[in-house]
Amino acid sequence: MDTSRASRLWSAETDRVLRAAGWYPGRTVPTAEWERVLHEHGGFEIHEAARLFLAEFGGLACEERGPGRTMARMGFRLDPLAAEWDDEIFDVLSEEAGAYLYPVGEADRRNSYLGIAPDGKVYIGMDSVTLLADTGDEALEKLIEGIR
């Protein structure tokens, strides 16, 4: 049994949606190509929190939309290359967040970027930034379940 997964307390709905998108316990995908492209095109420097999150969840997408628990459910795509040419936007978002944000994807039909800080906090934004969640797991739960 994968003990790292056993300690995670996301909902059955979040688990269902992630599995439908291709996630499974122990999933690992290579991040080197994303890292290379983002470094070459935007000067992005990956940190360990981003690498770990993308290794497990990178490439997943969820287009489920509609009513959620406290806000609308927001579709998302965990592809860091969504921000390939938007390093200046990430510079501003990082400054506003007070932490270096590495792109991990986009949400709400590309109206918002998802970025992760070195401490694992996940932020969402485009023109301004908001803390979405303290962890990647919590961020996925909030996006899938529609939780503010």
d(CA 62, CA 47): 25
pLDDT value for 8: 66
Number of domains in the chain: 1
Measured over the CA atoms of residue 77, residue 49, residue 31 and residue 89, the dihedral's sign is: positive
How crowded is the C-beta side of 140, counted as CA atoms within 13 Å?
A: 29
User: Residue 25's domain spans which residues?
Assistant: 9-145
Within a domain: 4: no
Q: What is the CA radius of gyration of the chain?
A: 14
Within a domain: 31: yes
Within a domain: 1: no
pTM for the whole structure:
0.90
pLDDT in tens, 34-54: 999 999 998 999 999 999 999
pLDDT tens sequence for the chain (148 residues): 343 444 467 889 899 999 999 999 999 999 999 999 999 998 999 999 999 999 999 999 998 766 666 677 778 999 999 999 999 999 999 999 999 999 999 998 888 999 999 999 999 999 999 999 999 999 999 999 887 7
Within a domain: 3: no
Within a domain: 134: yes
Task: Output the domain CATH number for residue 85.
Answer: 3.40.1580
